[in-house]
Structure 1
């Protein structure tokens, strides 16, 4: 078993559980929508669920692309557990555990969105710091060597950082319409980032 396979076993398990948590929330909500006591799901909670799944997917892709640099040691496993644990906790907060007690999911969103978005921000910043640390510790350039990145790679890097801006705005904005717009923006940026990462 390679070092990456060991670390990715932790990644895969927790990321899979986080995605299952979001999909399970969608399933419970759809069952209630057609049940005896229908609920108003609205746009906010489903959009937040989609954003979290897209963010988890991009994180999974970044982990795969860093596979040659990841070593299997205690510190790496603890850091991975922290970042993916934050994702998992955020995923568990998207949908209510007992959705039948929430006739309007927008009210649930109003209570939980800052914790979920804060978790996404913390996980993204943590993963960026981890990637930079991996790059600095695994590549040992000679003094005359220069870091050369193509324009496309620089653009993808900036897009990755730019995703943090609407996430931070989501922490501050209270208007539900603005929340919908910002969630759509984050989702679109994550899709573009994921596709661009593959093309570069």
Structure 2
């Protein structure tokens, strides 16, 4: 068993549970649509759930790319636990546990937004710091520089910067339409940059 296999066992379990939390929320919403009591779901909560799913997937890919750099030290396991545990906590706040008690999901979103968006910001900042430290302590031999690598780095950097700006803006903007627009943009940017990185 490699060091990455041990670390993967820790974060694979928690990330899988986080994904299950979001999917279970979507499932509760689908079941609710067929119920007798009318519920307004809106766009905010589903778009936030989709963004968390995409961000989880992005972290999973990032962790796999760093597999040769990871060791099985207690510090590594603690950092991984903090990040993946944070994702699980955030994922559990997206949808209400008792959706029938919330006739308007936009109200639930407004109640949970600070914790979810603040949690995502914190997780991504910790991930960036941990990745930078990992790259400094255990650098991976780089491929020869070329135009494709430079373009990919530029796309990733610009995408990350826009994502952070939008996440910070979401913490302060109260207008629902602006929140929908920013969440849609976050999803498109995260999905778009991830797809472009694969082709460059």
What is the aligned partner in structure 2 of residue 95 from structure 1? 95
What is the aligned partner in structure 2 of residue 167 from structure 1? 167
Name structure 2 gaps, 5 residues minimum. none
Deviations 1:33-89 (A, max 9, x none): 110112111100000000000000001010011111111110000000101111110
Name structure 1 gaps, 5 residues minimum. 142-146
What is the aligned partner in structure 2 of residue 129 from structure 1? 129
Give the direction of change, closer, same or farther, for the CA distance of 1:22–1:140 in structure 2 (3 Å limit): closer
What is the aligned partner in structure 2 of residue 30 from structure 1? 30
| Counterparts of 1:28 and 1:78, CA distance in 2 | 32
- SS of the aligned residue for 2:36 comes to coil
Deviations 1:9-37 (A, max 9, x none): 11110111001000000111111111011
Give TM-score scaled by structure 1 length: 0.93
Please state if 1:115 is matched with 2:115: yes
What is the aligned partner in structure 2 of residue 144 from structure 1? none
Length, aligned pairs only: 196
Question: Which stretch of the first structure deviates more once superposed, 3-12 or 188-197?
Answer: 188-197
**What is the CA-CA distance between 1:161 and the residue it aligns to?**
3.2
Is the CA contact 1:33–1:40 (under 8 Å) kept in the aligned structure 2?
no
Give the direction of change, closer, same or farther, for the CA distance of 1:84–1:178 in structure 2 (3 Å limit): same
Give TM-score scaled by structure 2 length: 0.93
